[in-house]
Amino acid sequence: MKKYEHKRITVHGKVSKLMSGVMGRTFLHLIDNQAGSTKYDLTVTTRDQVAVNDFVTAQGVITLNKNFGSGYFYEIIMEDARIQKRN
């Protein structure tokens, strides 16, 4: 994962859950829903509007070992993502 740190990447997935209005952004979880798999789950922050069950493309910067405090620690997180809904 180290090779992705501080790099802008693009991922595709299904929004499995979200919390909006946290520190001025939305935190969402993207899962790889190919063949019904939920093996891969990536936390993403964005200011774009999304809903649970949307299929999206997210492009953002990867941060490792992010600590927001109050018990919110992420080994890997995509921050400030731009979200595009897919069909």
Model pLDDT for residues 48-58, shown as the tens digit of each residue:
999 999 999 99
Kindly give the pairing relationship between strand 25-31 and strand 41-46.
Answer: antiparallel
Look at the block and give the residue holding tokens 């992010």.
Answer: 66
Higher pLDDT pick, 2 / 37: 2
pLDDT at 47 over 70: yes
Pick the residue with more confidence: 49 or 71?
49
- Determine the Cα–Cα distance for residues 50 and 64; give it in Å rounded to an integer: 24
Q: Which domains does the chain have, with CATH numbers?
A: 2-82 (2.40.50.140)
**pLDDT of res. 39:** 73
For residues 12 and 60, the answer to whether their CB atoms sit within 8 Å is: no
Q: Mean pLDDT in the chain? A: 92
* Mean local confidence (pLDDT), 8-18: 95
User: Beta 41-46 vs 72-86: how paired, if at all?
Assistant: parallel
